[in-house]
Copies of this chain bind each other. A is one copy, B any other.
Amino acid sequence: MIKVVLLGAGNVGVNLFKALQNKNGIELVQWYNRSVIQYKQGDSVVPVTTQLNEIVEADLYLISVSDTAITPVSKALENKKGLVAHTAGSVALSLLEGHQNHAVFYPLQTFSKQKEVDFSQIPLCLEANSEENLNLLKSVAQAMGGPIHLIDSVQRKALHVAAVFVNNFTNYLYTIGEELCKEHKVPFSVLQALIAETADKIKTIPPSTAQTGPAVRGDQKILEDHLQYLTKESHQQLYQLISASIQQHG
């Protein structure tokens, strides 16, 4: 049984908390969160603490707090022998090098507290300072069920930037679609099938070859027509820049 202490109750922390329960080979022995949220699942209630000086012994400490809080939280684990890992996409492994055993356990997904995600579908990006520590992480990752990737700090940074493009920026394009619908009294749901198919297509066709639309066709008439049609300056700028990028990309 691998004993795990989870630290943090943000979007990632809450989802990890749910995902770590009732997993073969894993015992979630404590949850540190500042707001004393206590989740019950079945009959098991994981002990919660709001005090960093009350953290118990464990094999793995998963620090799932905001990037800037990782260092102060990890300081409280200085005398622990277990493996200390953070879950952040944009923070290097070296931030934890003050600990003899340190690692990164990065679930590459977007999390919100309102919508539970299926961890068996989430890629887990692992990095550790030793083979032994990596094996411990792998065991935990395997129990969670998702695909496992060995990703070093430089690659993880690339992934984090890529995630901003395909998740945060994509969601903003959806927001523009929502705005245009609202302006013309069309339900946004009309666009949902298109959004789903666009995301689904890249499972079988690489996006670089799946590109369609007026920009890649070089349909100057439609491009000008759309630009004239858009009333918000920020929408026009985005339309122009992305269209130009698509055309340069070829």
- A residues contacting B by CB (< 8 A) are 11, 67, 90, 108-110, 112, 114-115, 117, 121-123, 125, 146-147, 149, 151, 154-155, 157-181, 183-188, 190-208, 210-216, 219, 221-222, 225-226, 229-230, 234, 237-239, 241-242, 244-246, 248-249
- Can you name 27 A-B residue pairings with CB atoms under 8 Å? A67-B222, A90-B225, A108-B191, A109-B197, A114-B204, A121-B193, A121-B196, A155-B186, A157-B229, A159-B181, A161-B230, A165-B177, A165-B180, A166-B173, A166-B195, A167-B195, A168-B214, A168-B246, A172-B207, A172-B242, A173-B173, A174-B207, A177-B207, A178-B207, A199-B199, A238-B241, A238-B242
For residue A144, give the distance in angstroms from its CB to the closest CB of chain B. Answer: 13
B173:A170 contact, CB within 8 angstroms: yes
Top 10 closest pairs, chain A to chain B, by CB: A168-B213, A199-B199, A174-B207, A158-B184, A162-B177, A162-B180, A166-B177, A175-B207, A167-B198, A234-B245
